[in-house]
């Protein structure tokens, strides 16, 4: 498992979040996970 810092832009704002994923996880999947995480945290 690795921890990856990802910057996600959502509705014109940038959010920095950490994603923990397996080493084999693709960049697209990590970005998808980060986007979902930001939406859950900030878009209530």
Averaged pLDDT of the chain: 93
Backbone angles phi, psi at 38, to 5 degrees: -65, -45
DSSP 1: -
**Does residue 22 have a pLDDT over 80?**
yes
pLDDT-above-70 percentage for the chain: 98
Domain of residue 32, residue span:
2-42
pLDDT band for position 42 (cuts 50, 70, 90): confident
**Does residue 34 have a pLDDT over 80?**
yes
Structural domain total, the chain: 1
Furthest C-alpha separation in the chain: 31
Report the sign of the C-alpha dihedral through residues 15, 19, 24, 30, in that order.
Answer: negative
**Does residue 44 have a pLDDT over 70?**
no
Q: Which residue has the higher pLDDT, 24 or 43?
A: 24
């Amino acid at each position: 498992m690795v921890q990856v810092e990802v910057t996600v832009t959502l509705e014109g704002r940038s959010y920095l979040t950490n994603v923990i994923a397996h080493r084999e996880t693709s960049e697209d999947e990590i970005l998808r996970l980060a986007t979902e995480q930001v939406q859950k945290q900030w878009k209530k």
